[in-house]
Copies of this chain bind each other. A is one copy, B any other.
Amino acid sequence: MQLSCPLPQLDFDVITLGHGAGGLLTNQLLESGVFDLLKNPLLDTRHDGAVFDLPGRIAFSTDSYVISPVFFPGGNIGELAVNGTVNDLAMCGAAARYLSLAFILEEGLSMQEFWDILVSIKFAAERAQALVVTGDTKVVERGKGDKIFINVSGVGSVHPMAQIDRSRIRPGDQIIASGYIATHGIAIMSVREGLAFETTLQSDTTNLNHTVFRLLDQFGADIKFLRDPTRGGVASALNEIARDTRLGVRIRQEAIKVHEEVAGACEMLGLDPLYVANEGIFLMIAEAGRATHILEELQRLPNGADAAIIGEIVEEHPRQVVLHSRVGGRRVVSMLTGEQLPRIC
C-alpha cells in the first residue's frame, strides 16, 4: 500500500520540538504531505475545526492510543487508533463519519515512522468510510513521551433502527462473540521486549462498523447491546454488563473460540484469555428468539465467520459472570484486577 504514498521530500528526517510550536516548522510538517495525504474538502479549510451537517441521532466517542510497540504484527498504532474509535462508534450502533486526529509526538521520532503511521491512518479511514476532518500536533521532549500517542475522536450517524441500550437486556438474551478472542493482546505480547516466545500471530485490528450496520439493517431492535472487549478482555466487558443490569451472565467455555497458538501462549504466560485485550471482535446481547438468525447472518459477513453464541443472560447469580467449563465445573469470572497487559491499545 505504501508504494503509492512515498515519503515526501523534507528538510528534516526526525521530529523536533519546533514541529509542535505552531509556526513555520509545524506548517511545513503539515503542508509537506499530511494535508495532501488525508485530503478532503472539510480538512482543506484548515480552520480550528470542521463544520458540517449531520442529521439524525449522532454518536460521539474518543480514545487515546498508547500501544507499545508502535509497530506490531498485523498493524501499527495508526490503524489501531482509527479502527478503535470507529468500533467504539459502531458499538453505539453508529457509522463513523468524521474523525479528529491528535498526535503527541516524542522529539526524535523518525519522519519515516511517522509517515508510515499516517499512511496507515489514511487507509484505515478509507476502509471505514470515515473522513479525518480536523487535527492537532504536539511535540514533547525526548523522555517525556514514547514515540507517538494518538487520540482519535469521532462522530457518527446512528442507525435509524438501532436501540442499543443496556436497560433493554433481559434474562434469556443470548451473548454472541463475533470471533476468536485474545488474539490482539497475545500478538502484542509476543513482540514485547523481554518476552521469551514468538508466534506468527497477528493482531486482528479491523473496523467492525460495516458488519454491525448490516446486522442493524436486518435485525434492528433485536440487537440490544454491543460492546468491543478491548482492555480488560471479555471478562471485564461481561462483568460490566452484569453489574449495570444487575443480572447474571453465564458463559460456556466450550463455545468461546481461542486460537490454539493464543491458548498456548496464555498457558505459558499464566494468562487467562478471557482477560486479554481484543481489537477485532465484538460482543452482542441479542433477543433470545432471534439470536440464532443473527448469528447465521453474522457468520456470512466480514469478520463474522467465526462468530458463536457463547452464553446468555440469566436471573441467577445477579451481577456475577459464571463460566461453565468443558468438564462440567463452574467458576465465577471476576473483573480484571491489576494490570495484566499495560499499553495494549
* Interface residues in chain A, defined as those with a beta carbon under 8 Å from any beta carbon in chain B: 16-18, 20-27, 46-66, 68, 87-89, 91-94, 98, 100-104, 133-136, 138-141, 143-146, 149, 151, 153, 155, 158, 164, 166, 227-228, 230-233, 236, 240, 244, 275, 277, 334-343
Closest to A154 in B: B49
A24–B338 alpha-carbon span in the complex (Å): 7
CB <8 Å contact, A335 and B48: no
Measured between C-beta atoms, what is the minimum distance from A181 to chain B in Å? 14
Contact at A101–B144, with CB atoms within 8 Å?
no
Residue of B nearest to A135 (CB): B62
**How distant is the Cα of A278 from the Cα of B151 in the complex, in angstroms?**
24
CA distance A101 to B65 in the complex (A): 13
Set of chain B residues within 8 Å of A54, measured between Cβ atoms: 54, 58
Q: What B residues does A133 contact at CB under 8 A? A: 60
Residue of B62, B100, B339 touching A136 (CB-CB under 8 A):
B62
Q: Assess A61 versus B49: contact at CB under 8 Å? Given A66-B104, A232-B21, A343-B140.
A: yes
* B236→A23 contact, CB < 8 A: yes
Q: With A and B bound together, what is the CA distance between A277 and B23 in angstroms?
A: 11
Can you sample 27 A-B contacts with CB below 8 Å?
Answer: A16-B339, A18-B337, A18-B339, A21-B341, A22-B230, A23-B231, A23-B335, A27-B240, A27-B335, A46-B244, A47-B92, A48-B91, A49-B60, A51-B57, A51-B58, A51-B94, A53-B58, A54-B58, A58-B58, A58-B155, A60-B98, A62-B101, A64-B102, A64-B103, A64-B149, A141-B342, A153-B153
Q: Which residue of B lies closest to A158 (CB)?
A: B51
Contact present for B92 and A48 (CB under 8 Å): yes
A106 to B, closest residue via Cβ? B144
Q: A22-B236, A342-B20 are in contact. Are A153 and B62 (CB under 8 A)?
A: yes
State the CA gap A66–B240 with chains docked (Å): 32
In the A-B complex, the 7 residue pairs with the closest CB atoms: A23-B336, A22-B231, A49-B61, A22-B232, A62-B100, A153-B153, A151-B151
